[in-house]
Amino acid sequence: MRISLAQLDSRLGEIDANIEVAQEAVATAVGESADLVVFPELFLSGYSVGEVDADLSMRPDDPRIQKLASSAGEMGLSIGFVEAGPPGPHTYNSTAYYESGRLVHVHRKLYLPQYSPFEERNHFTPGPRLRAFDAMPDTRMAVLCCNDAWQPQLPFLATQDGAQILLVPAASSQSSFPERYDSHQYWHDITRFYGRMFQLFVVFVNRVGVEGRFCFWGGSHVVDPWGNVLAEAMQDQEQVLSLDIDLAEVRRRRRQVPLVKEARLGLIQREITRLLDEGGDL
């Protein structure tokens, strides 16, 4: 499988302009015979949606996204946007996956950061579920959107649901809070750990550019089932990075060291039930 990581800047509130940029990246990925192109979190809207008066929400079947997905041909397309939920007050920080121009899956971000300088819980509703999904032949993926990946129970669940690839679209910026926080190092620690322990490929795609108080640093990369970084994009520069991966390595790794088949889901269910009974839910 050939994957293109679309590490690009996004213009806050300018959906049509961002669609045009995405169209160019899709054309580049098609030209490089990619099977999958992955864009960052909230790419179509920009990140700081609370600073825009206009309604930036879209449905996954919005004609603009559908046109973009169709232009990708048979290639898979993963892209982040503000999703208008079913009738009611909810909007979601969502990532949609299309293949052959058809909507296959929508992931609604589950863990919304609400600590300085992030205010996502003010603007979005947490997603209700995590599901792996079938993509191109003999491939199963799951999406963890940025802060979702800081919750290790989620890649565990995705792996038990059959995921061979974790897509991690992000809008990660470097800030002075908290103290001693190096965003680049944290993400490398997280993605390499998940690759090694859950024995799958991790595809981390981050934004670049400056948006108000946020400085998005890039560093998009792919980790293999042994925890090795296969390729990494430059920091602070736009780049469409393409590389090949071999999904047979997931099966090979899981046969050599059978970690993920020892989940003991019944044990975990019992202990979670106990914790819930003791008041462990928020």
Across 76-80, 114-118, 254-258, least confident range: 114-118
282: in domain: no
Among the listed residues 162, 149, 22, 144, the one whose alpha carbon sits nearest the alpha carbon of residue 94: 144
Alpha helices, H only, 178-241: 183-198
* Euclidean distance between CA atoms 160 and 178, whole angstroms: 33
Mean pLDDT of 8-34: 98
CATH number, domain with residue 207:
3.60.110.10
Q: Is the per-residue pLDDT at 27 higher than 60? A: yes
Q: Is the per-residue pLDDT at 176 higher than 70? A: no
Residue 54: predicted pLDDT: 94
Burial 227-261 (b: 16+ CB within 10 A, else e): beebebbebeebbbbbbebebebbeebbeeeeebe
Q: Is the per-residue pLDDT at 118 higher than 60? A: yes
Q: Is the per-residue pLDDT at 180 higher than 70? A: no
Residue 86: predicted pLDDT: 82
201: in domain: yes
Residue 179: predicted pLDDT: 63
The structural domain count of the chain equals: 1
198: in domain: yes
| 108 token code pair | 């609604």
| 211 token code pair | 């948006």
The alpha carbon of 74 is separated from its chain's Cα centroid by a whole number of angstroms, namely 20
The DSSP symbol for 50 reads G
Mean pLDDT of 70-93: 94
Output the CA–CA distances (angstroms, integers) from residue 123 to 47, 57, 90, 111, 126, in the order listed: 11, 11, 9, 13, 10
Angle at 162 between CA 196 and CA 110, to 5 degrees: 85
pLDDT in tens, 192-218: 999 999 999 999 999 999 999 999 999
Q: Which residue range(s) make up the domain with 249?
A: 2-277
Residue 182: predicted pLDDT: 85
